[in-house]
Structure 1
């Protein structure tokens, strides 16, 4: 009993001396150095090669490692005996190399419980000084009732058992999955909103183009109506000029086969003939259907339709020369 108590006191004294020396030298350590990793993919594990701690951690994290969600870098070390300090020093150096190579999200140092004298190397200044250089160090040392070591004090997170340290990493990986799922849902929602907005813009643009097309059609119809009105007006003026003896410069040659089209039937008797009234005529091109408004539009041998009040006749333009006495 006295021997065990002496070992316990020596361990406590070594722990306090190490921590005081680190504080005097201005090192920053402890929970304040923890940085929550957003995507914990590379995790280092420092443990004995043939101990329960290794199996406990692998049991908790195996499914994530097998599925490729994370990679566990195993670093084997000796925790007790005369070579423990040198072995742990080398293990922390290897963890630093892995961090520079992969950007470690965390480094776990785990060992199972045992007699207090087996934890002496975890209070040594050289071991603890090397551990400070490792970012996001998670200590899972011993079991319930094991005294805290200097390594527990300088670690960013200290858990009571190796399994608890592995569960911390497990929760970090699961939290990353939750964040990824939320990000995907937010992306899907934003994409749907963007598509809906783009659809509304496209529909609005189509409606605007449709309205513009209707406006163009209405304007074209209005121009055609104005053209038709001018044609009727010019035809009336031409008829008036012909009645007063003015020469137009061309005459219409009536073909023998050019029977009136859509002529009105007024009957055979004299009583059926309507009273005479001023007539009108509309000239359209037989090949295009356009109204002929100007004299300059007439060409030799051009086929025309003459539209009268009581019918339509096909004619062709022939050049003539009119002599005046």
Structure 2
């Protein structure tokens, strides 16, 4: 073992010597000792600083730095604590972080494990608000071109608000006074850590109703809350609520706080109302005024119709006065009709007289002697034609013992022996009947043989 005198002498291999009270320790042991000392000394601290390098990991844990003018300290916030934050941290925002100081041996550094984080006063809150407003405005969420007109007379109105506060009572009372309308209330918390998520979910829930089921789809949505401090109204400045308002396809009236209160949801909504009661007044017209207006319009319409009829009657009377009288229009036609009727009677009389004269002349020319001479000549011509027809009749020679031959199959007259041989079977027609015969070929001559039950003709 080395002596104490050798303590400051350079050595190749580390050795322990008598009286040495600084024994070598491992890095892990030193890190553990430092960790215990730091955590024991700074078990609970509150740090005020500006957020820098904010990052949310996929696990849900949050990593960031807190800094001031001359120093920086790392910070980590586990998922459970990060999920309970009432706002979304951003770089450049001054906060007060509450937690405990610890070390991270893996990187030989110390850090604060943040359990709670709050904005460092109203100034920091306003800075965060302005920064978020600029970011959302840059995305076009506040663009006037996105605004939708409100329906003139909505049949169903959806209201997103607390079911127990005075706001919903004021809205329902005002709607009942002006124009009774069906109202659907989506109850939400309007203040606290859960408020932003509930309000955003309610807005998207109303927008998701298709109207095909029992619950009707609202024609208008009112997002309302009473007045309060900027901290009380902060849920309506959260990004989730603002995006839900901007994305809603149903026209939205934002009525958050009193006249002097302004939230980011007001900029994203289609219309901002100074108070929840004013939102109800914007939503529907006054029923009595509407009835009076309709009655006035009906009166004007009736007067207009009467004036129209009166003026039409006056114009018709003026036109009637300008038209000629009926007798003046029809007089010449009546006279012409009488003239034509008279001429027609006289013309018929003349025509009948002329016809009678023609009949008398024709009757005088028809003498009985001439008719009898013509009838006698016609009878002689008819008798001559009859004799000629009788002599030319094809059956006349049959009376003198002749016969005519026809082919049995076709019925055509056979005039030569060759035709008879070609036909084979023939029919012989006599004056008193017909006989079927068969032509036999022999010696160049054709013989007609009668049927077996008939006598041989040759």
What's the TM-score bracket when you normalise by the shorter of the two chains?
Answer: 0.5 to 0.7
Q: What are the within-5 Å matches in structure 2 for residues 119-268 of structure 1?
A: 119-134=233-248, 135-145=250-260, 147-171=261-285, 184=298, 187-188=301-302, 191-192=305-306, 195=309, 199=313, 211=324, 213-215=326-328, 217-223=330-336, 226=339
The one-character-per-residue Cα deviations of 1:207-247 (angstroms, maximum 9, x if unpaired) are 79x8574346413542476579x79xxxxxxxxxxxxxxxx
Distance 1:153 1:171 in 2: 24
Count of residue pairs brought into register by the alignment: 233
Q: By percentage of residues, which structure has more strand?
A: 2
Distance 2:198 2:159 in 1: 14
Contact 1:29 1:132 in 2 (8 A): no
Distance 2:129 2:288 in 1: 35
Residue 278 of structure 1 is matched in structure 2 by: none
Q: What are the within-5 Å matches in structure 2 for residues 13-24 of structure 1?
A: 13-24=127-138
The Cα of 1:156 is off from its aligned counterpart by: 2.7
- How well do the aligned residues superpose, as a CA RMSD in angstroms? 4.5
Structure-2 change in CA distance of 1:106 and 1:29 (3 Å): farther
Residues 1:76 and 2:187 aligned together: yes
The Cα of 1:130 is off from its aligned counterpart by: 0.9
Could you list the runs of 5+ residues in structure 2 that have no partner in the other structure?
A: 1-95, 97-117, 353-458
The Cα of 1:139 is off from its aligned counterpart by: 1.6
Distance 1:99 1:21 in 2: 32
The one-character-per-residue Cα deviations of 1:263-304 (angstroms, maximum 9, x if unpaired) are xxxxxxxxxxxxxxxxxxxxxxxxxxxx964672999xxxxx
Could you list the runs of 5+ residues in structure 1 that have no partner in the other structure?
A: 232-290, 300-325
TM-score between the two structures when normalised by the length of structure 1: 0.55
Q: What are the within-5 Å matches in structure 2 for residues 273-288 of structure 1?
A: none
Q: By percentage of residues, which structure has more helix?
A: 1
Distance 1:94 1:180 in 2: 36
Structure-2 change in CA distance of 1:99 and 1:211 (3 Å): farther
Structure-2 change in CA distance of 1:99 and 1:118 (3 Å): farther
Distance 2:320 2:174 in 1: 59
SS at match of 2:231: helix
SS at match of 1:116: coil
